[in-house]
Amino acid sequence: MVRNAGDKWFVGSSYALLALVGLAAVVPLLYVFSVSLTPFAEVLKHGGYVLIPKELTFNAYKKLIGTSTIPRSLLVTVYITVVGTTINLILTSLIAYPLSRKQLPGRRFFLLMVVFTLLFSGGIIPTYLVVKATGLIDSLWALILPTAVSSFNVLIMKSFFEQLPEELFESARIDGAKEFLILFRLVVPLSLPVMITVGLFYAVGHWNSFFSAIMYVTDRSLFPLQVVVREILMLTQQPLENAEDQVPTVTMQMAAVVFASLPVLVIYPFLQKHFTKGMLLGSIKG
């Protein structure tokens, strides 16, 4: 395909802009990762800015893992993410599937109720009162149940379900399959892209759980990883525990950020194909 000068200029400027955006995203991550692995004396020698470490030290990571706080908070976060995402997907599927069936009585009313929650919410205080009244304060369920269903994710999954061939549902019903069997044996296996997409939304939300934790949890043994990382980031520029500690606070802070971000950064590339496909297919219909 022959391109004129205007097309070449547009393509070149687009690549340049994308390269700048990519650098803006990669450089901060690279800086945090490098400082967490670089001896503090080397960091000071370069004015506090290191992108490629010349010397490596894992003292900060050893110290993080060696304390009881970080491993315990990691287990809490993993539990919240796994259990919470499982509950999210089950409930979202159970809501999205009937809403995707045009023969559902009162379908427009229920869709309106779902959309209404996207525009208006009860607010922080009423939500806290509900969580307190149900006895969820100082419980891990307080970090799972209040966000069990996202209206946005329900609409994405509903749109995907609507695009499945109606003939599949009719043939399953002719064979005597009930709606629950159709959903879990037919619809869910065919909806893997949107399941992964919505699951990734929920999982990242649970992994980054912070505000709900400081609102509903006071027991430090139940703090998720992000709350503990915030406490480390709020430390003054002093050693973490005592004056003779050889791991500077800034190195601990960078290591904590890497520790909290690395799992998502590692998992996402393997799910990107399904994530993109699910978002495209789930957004064709409204």
Average pLDDT over residues 195-204: 89
Confidence of residue 274 (pLDDT cuts 50, 70, 90): low
Q: In the chain, where are the structural domains located?
A: 1-57, 58-281
CA distance 19 to 23: 6
Q: Looking at the predicted structure, is the pLDDT value of residue 278 above 60?
A: no
- Confidence (pLDDT) at 41: 75
Highest mean pLDDT out of 48-52, 71-75, 280-284: 71-75
Q: Hey, what CATH topology would domain 58-281 get?
A: MetI-like fold (1.10.3720)
pLDDT at 281 over 60: no
Q: Is 17 helix (H, G, I), strand (E, B) or coil?
A: helix
pLDDT reported for residue 40:
73
Is the predicted pLDDT of residue 239 greater than 50, yes or no? no
Tell me the three state secondary structure of residue 120. coil
Count how many Cα atoms sit within 13 Å of the Cα of residue 35 in the half-sphere of its side chain: 24
Which string of DSSP letters, residue by residue, matches 50-113? Answer: -SS-SS---HHHHHHHHSSHHHHHHHHHHHHHHHHHHHHHHHHHHHHHHHH-TTSTTHHHHHHH
For residue 282, the model assigns a pLDDT of: 47
Token pair recorded at residue 114:
């779902």
Q: What is the pTM of this model?
A: 0.79
Tokens representing residue 28 in the block: 């901060």
Q: Which own/partner contact pairs does 250-255 have at CB distance under 8 Å and 24+ positions apart? A: 250/35, 250/40, 250/43, 251/35, 251/36, 251/38, 251/40, 251/43, 251/59, 251/60, 252/60, 252/63, 252/64, 254/32, 254/33, 254/35, 254/36, 254/60, 255/36, 255/60, 255/61, 255/64
Of 250, 256, 207, 242, which Cα lies nearest the Cα of 84?
A: 207
pLDDT score recorded for residue 87: 95
**pLDDT reading at 91 higher than 70:** yes
Distance CA 218, CA 138 (A): 6
Is the pLDDT assigned to residue 212 strictly greater than 70?
Answer: yes
Q: How far is CA 278 from the centre of its chain?
A: 16
pLDDT at residue number 13: 87
| Residues 229-248, mean pLDDT to the nearest whole number | 59
What is the mean pLDDT of the segment spanning 221-241? 74
